[in-house]
Amino acid sequence: MNLLIGAATIGLILAPLALGVFISYRIYKILDLTTDGSHGLGASVVAALLVRQVNPLAATLLGLISGMIAGAITGTLHTRFRVSALLAGVLTTTALYSVNLFVMGSGNVNLASADTLFTRAEILGRQLLGIPESLSIMGTTVGGGSFSALIMTAVLAAALAVGLTLFLATDLGLALRAAGNNPAMAKALGIDVERMVVVGLGLSNGLIALSGALFAQYSGFANIQIGIGAIVTGVATLMVGETLFGKRSLGRWIAGAVGGAVVFRLVVAGAVRAGLNPDALKLVTAIFVLAVLIVPGMINRARAGKAESAAHHA
């Protein structure tokens, strides 16, 4: 049960990452490599602030804003200076590696004794919801703190998903989607496509950095490796969500991104429990994404081939 709650919580922490990748990868069809850097940036900024006793909420918000700036830089490189989206992302992420080291002051920051959003959630949970020090769910003892963490991350993920869905249905949100879907049409309808890309990537990386900031607080440390592979994790969770929830409406698609992140982490926890070496996790994730990308095409070709040979025999 503890494992389950822990995995679900990490899944919910990764939900903003999935939402951010949804914006860059699905709305703008840009594989934005800034993701790795900004995920780590969110963790670094929050860690550096928390060890200096900054209010956890303020620290988390500053982490989010730092990610927005990083995304806006990539967007500007891409639109204003015509650098390809891929290269722009790589440049920003490479630069962020150094930035993250400077921000943290070293490769690793311990947050075990720091006041974080999660310690705050535990206190709030006890005061407002009356969550006891520890409670028993289905026969296992669960710490009140991890239960509060689950509730807080669930509320946050739901709020972000609902907020993003509503935002994308406003005039501005629709302009953002049109700019990604058909730039020529968007310009002809008076939409400043370049600005929309900058705003969109800013928003995307803000969410991604928020995810990194939460992750560092939850794990009790930040290190330089937190962001590595974040883009692949994001794409993987997105694909899990699309498979499970479909993408028939925007709301469903976005809910799927959140659901996909949780399911993804549950499966990972199950696999590790079953004996998968945690070091192999990124390899397995990469193989999973590759499989989702190429298997449907292979099945279609096989079907088409069969249909063709059937036509020949007929």
Partner 1 sequence: MPEMALRLQQVSHLFHPGTPNEVRAIDSVDLELVPGSFTVVLGANGSGKSSLLGAIAGSLSRTRGRIFLGDQEVTHWPEHRRAQLIGRVFQNPLMGTAADLTVAENLTLAARRGSRRLLRPALGAERKRVIQEQVARLGMGLEQRLDTPIGMLSGGQRQALTVLMATMVKPTLLLLDEHTAALDPRSAELVIGLTQEVITAGGLTTLMVTHSLAQAVQSADRILVMHRGKLVYDIPDVRRQHLREDDLLRFFDQLRWADRLDESAATMLRHGYV
Residues forming contacts to partner 1 in the complex (CB under 8 A) are 166-167, 169-175, 177-178, 181-182, 184-193
The least CB distance from residue 28 to partner 1, in Å, is 12
Nearer CB in complex with partner 1: 134/249: 249
> Residues of 40-56 as b/e, b for ≥16 C-beta within 10 angstroms?
bbbbbbbbbbbbeebeb
| Contact present, 146 and 5 (Cβ < 8 Å) | yes
C-alpha distances in angstroms, 207 versus 4, 55, 106, 131, 274? 24, 20, 24, 29, 32
* Radius of gyration in angstroms for the set of CA atoms belonging to the chain, rounded to a whole number: 21
Nearer CB in complex with partner 1: 184/310: 184
The least CB distance from residue 254 to partner 1, in Å, is 14
Cβ neighbours of 311 (radius 10 Å): 8
Nearer CB in complex with partner 1: 16/173: 173
The least CB distance from residue 192 to partner 1, in Å, is 5
Nearer CB in complex with partner 1: 181/309: 181
Residue type at 160 in one-letter notation? L
Kindly report the CA angle at 187 between 182 and 192, in degrees rounded to 5? 110
Residues 6+ apart with CB under 8 A from 65: 206
Kindly report the CA angle at 288 between 246 and 216, in degrees rounded to 5? 90
The least CB distance from residue 79 to partner 1, in Å, is 12
The least CB distance from residue 245 to partner 1, in Å, is 17
- Residue 51's nearest CA partner among 194, 300, 220 is 220
Q: Which backbone phi and psi does 110 adopt, to 5 degrees?
A: -90, 130
CA distance 6 to 110: 20
Nearer CB in complex with partner 1: 191/262: 191
Nearer CB in complex with partner 1: 89/180: 180
- Residue 253's nearest CA partner among 183, 306, 191, 177 is 177
Nearer CB in complex with partner 1: 144/183: 183
